Amino acid sequence: MTGWLPKSRKARRRLVVLSAVAPVLALAVGLTLWGLSDSISYFYTPAQAAETRPEPGRTIQLGGLVAGGSVVKHPDGRLEFVVADQIAMTPVTFKGDPPDLFREGQGVVATGAFREDGVFEARRLLAKHDETYMPRDLQNALKEQGEWRGDGAPRVPDAQDPAAAPYGGAGGR
């Protein structure tokens, strides 16, 4: 025997089993991660999307607020709007029926991909309440108790807001 092997027969057996199992386990983990890589969907805000510029055609999730004055419904069922955060705005197009909660100033998460022209083409929309949502009954009860602190709602970005630069604007992608 060589000097680096343990002297105990039991310890040598454990080392042999470990050296046989470790590569198999590493291969299994590697294959699992490789197989799941296509199903991973990254989440971006408009500012993060403008900064990182995800490659066109790659499936991602884009989340933010629907900018005021940006929703345009076309007769063919196509919906165009702008998703904004406090730094940037991203034009989005969607074909289909939007969720019931979808409206200007409301939070939205769109799953889809950017096109070459910088427009986000959504395949699925999820509308959500913003973080300040509170049932009306609870608001009224807090007002009656004198505990109401105001709605604290975030500023709703406007599609014509010059402070938020659109993704894929005049400079292109």
Q: How is the chain split into domains, by residue range? A: 8-40, 43-166
DSSP H or E run through 46: helix 46-52
Q: What is the pLDDT of residue 153?
A: 46
Q: What is the pLDDT of residue 149?
A: 58
Q: What is the pLDDT of residue 34?
A: 84
Q: What is the pLDDT of residue 100?
A: 85
CA dist 94 and 83 (Å) reads 12
Instruction: Tell the burial category of 150 from Cβ atoms under 10 Å away from its Cβ (0-12, 13-18, 19+).
Output: exposed
pLDDT, tens digit (0-9, with 9 covering 90-100), for 52-89: 888 898 888 998 889 999 999 999 989 999 998 888 99
Cβ neighbours for 113, distance < 8 A, ≥ 6 positions apart:
54, 56, 57, 58, 59, 60, 120, 121
23-27, 44-48, 111-115, 118-122: which range is least confident on average? 44-48
Residue with tokens 């602190």: 149
According to CATH, what is the number of the domain 43-166? 2.40.50.140
Q: What is the pLDDT of residue 171?
A: 36
Whether residue 125 has pLDDT greater than 90: yes
